[in-house]
Amino acid sequence: MKRCTADILKALRQLMSRHQLNAYLVPSEDAHMSEYVADCDKRRAQLTGFTGSAGTALVTESEALMWTDGRYFLQAEQQMDSNWTLMRALAKDVPTLTEYLANRGFARVGFDPTTLPFGRFIEMRDSLAAGGTELVGLPDNLVDAVWTGRPERPLGRRLFLLTAEEAGAGPAEKLALLRQEMQKCKAGLLILSALDDVAWLFNYRAVGVIPMSPVLFAYAAVTPDSAHLFADLHESALAEFKQHVAETGVQLHAYAKFQSELEKLVAGSSGRVWLDHRASAAVGLPVPKARVYTADSPASVLKAVKYAPERAGMARAHVLDAVALCRYLHWLELQLAAGSPVTELSGSNQLDQLRSEMEGFVEISFETISGSGSNGAIIHYRVTPETDRPIVPDEAYLVDSGGHYRCGTTDVTRTVFYGAAPGAQLKRHYTLVLRGHIALSRLTFPENVLGSRLDTHARAALWTAGLEFQHGTGHGVGVFLNVHEGPCAISGSRANPHEIGLKRGMIVTIEPGFYLAGQYGIRVENVVEVVPQPGIAEGFDGLQFLTFKPLTLVPISTKLVDRSQLADEDVAWLNNYHAEVRQVVGDELKKRGFAETYEWLVRETEPI
């Protein structure tokens, strides 16, 4: 359904005229370049009607243009009314935003500096300067000004304050580590822009601010002798929070005070000002050019290597999560066997319910992908009432889901089949995906190797059959924090300049797949911990050699496996994995009195 955008465009153009702007730029990003965006920050969606995650709008005096990529062409056409022109990014003869602006030769293009990454702003500014076009940063967002009924920015209300024992280190210790990194780089001021970096630093988590991302709207600023947190807490949470951070000496400021305090902090400090890659133009612009130091956030880099209690918490979260997922898969089998209808949506709701029964469960960590048959072939499928379909025994069913628990975050995908006998092609494809999963899981590699250099090991088996999947092989996972966490990953399609090498104690996913449009989707995903390779005390030239240890402990369908296509080593890996699943998760199921699910687990973990 299209929303009429005539009124909001008219109001915006009036404001543009008042500011003498030829155009106004509306990106999708919030001020922290967050993956999930709060409702109050969905300005591009409000303006255009298009609700997809990626897109940039540009409103001129006579035109309204929206750039998005191929994933969203159809959705954008369906959602945008005739006031808008869709700009198909990368399509032939479609200019980029910068090219378009350069061609038009506007004098003044307005934007909100919090919504553009600083690096991108510099690039655009420099390439437009030659043509006389000025990018004009306005402190107040013009879309906000014309947005009737814009939601309030949510306060931190339901807070989780992690002890140093839970988190592995207290905020004072983490501040000291950041200051060490600052000293190495001659930085006199560090600004943390990423919301999960700030939550990590101060050992808090928050629910109800950004869906599925347990963070607050916040910035942190660190100097050699002071620390500042800019965040709005509900008064019910304030006293306890102040006590929580008392030993750090951190000064608490209102979130809205960040911009004015930043200017004071820059003026009052010396040396470089360290900005991370999430910093917006609003953060970078007040810093004198010669003092700007842009590099990976040291908090992101430190956060990627988990402390021992975090690793233990993640392992525990995955056992809890496995209980819920095993109960779901068992329940689903029973329902289908009894002929009781289950749909993708009702199944997904049942899974949410079972997760919510686990102790320490907080919320789901991302929107569940529950896809049966051809819906499973849509990589980023989200079931809606319109697309919902029954889960039936004779189709492959793909379920990708996860939860935030007080002790950790999970992300697991299984592909199952409840019919009598899967087709030969489905078995062949499933076995190729599984071979890739096992090949990467079994790999031994030296410390600090980039994960992007390992990703093809999860693809090589599919490649032998002329098959490929079009998504990354794995991503970092936060500890009761963002389910997609940088800067380590196992993804090679696009080179990521911010990627860092794999180290002992990092936690990532391994999730190869295969998607046959109109028929089925297959994905096998575990969360794994980077651990020393047993048996190699010290490698060549003092290198430590590492491998992956699965944290996810949920049966991998053996019904879909073509045993003859697995090497002996692959079979041994699978049987060992299932033995551990049966042992660890089996104990939990028995302890909790889920005797029938335990019997199901025993069947599902039989050696092949």
Binding site for its own copies (CB under 8 A): 130-131, 288-290, 443-446, 449-450, 452-457, 460, 463-468, 470, 492, 495, 497, 533, 536, 538-541, 543, 545
Instruction: Between 95 and 423, name the residue whose CB sits nearer to its own copies.
Output: 95
Instruction: Between 443 and 602, name the residue whose CB sits nearer to its own copies.
Output: 443
Instruction: Between 533 and 558, name the residue whose CB sits nearer to its own copies.
Output: 533
- Strand 526-532 and strand 545-550: the pairing is antiparallel
User: Least distance (Å) from its own copies to the CB of residue 502?
Assistant: 12
User: Least distance (Å) from its own copies to the CB of residue 540?
Assistant: 5
60: amino acid identity, one letter:
T
Enclosing H/E stretch for 97:
helix 97-104
User: Least distance (Å) from its own copies to the CB of residue 501?
Assistant: 11
Distance separating alpha carbons of residues 151 and 342, to the nearest angstrom: 36
Instruction: Between 130 and 420, name the residue whose CB sits nearer to its own copies.
Output: 130
Coil/strand/helix, residue 279: coil
Instruction: Between 308 and 517, name the residue whose CB sits nearer to its own copies.
Output: 517
What CA dihedral angle connects 421, 424, 426 and 431, to 10 degrees? 100
User: Least distance (Å) from its own copies to the CB of residue 308?
Assistant: 24
Q: Nearest-CA neighbor of 521 among 398, 429, 409, 400?
A: 398
Instruction: Between 310 and 511, name the residue whose CB sits nearer to its own copies.
Output: 511
Q: Provide the β-strand partners of residue 251.
A: 228
Q: Nearest-CA neighbor of 376 among 317, 449, 426?
A: 426
Instruction: Between 334 and 449, name the residue whose CB sits nearer to its own copies.
Output: 449
Distance separating alpha carbons of residues 506 and 548, to the nearest angstrom: 10
User: Least distance (Å) from its own copies to the CB of residue 532?
Assistant: 11
Q: Give residue 251's region: left, alpha or beta (phi > 0; psi -120 to 50).
A: beta
User: Least distance (Å) from its own copies to the CB of residue 551?
Assistant: 22
DSSP 510-569: E--EEEETTTEEEE-BEEEEEEEPTT-SS-GGG--EEEEEE----PPPSTT--GGGS-HH
Distance separating alpha carbons of residues 381 and 369, to the nearest angstrom: 6
User: Least distance (Å) from its own copies to the CB of residue 492?
Assistant: 5
Instruction: Between 239 and 567, name the residue whose CB sits nearer to its own copies.
Output: 567
Distance separating alpha carbons of residues 162 and 158, to the nearest angstrom: 13
Eight-state DSSP code of residue 190: E
User: Least distance (Å) from its own copies to the CB of residue 527?
Assistant: 22
Instruction: Between 18 and 184, name the residue whose CB sits nearer to its own copies.
Output: 184
7: CB partners within 8 A, 6+ apart: none
Check if the beta carbon of residue 2 is closer than 8 Å to that of residue 79. Answer: yes
User: Least distance (Å) from its own copies to the CB of residue 344?
Assistant: 25
Q: Provide the β-strand partners of residue 59.
A: 24, 64
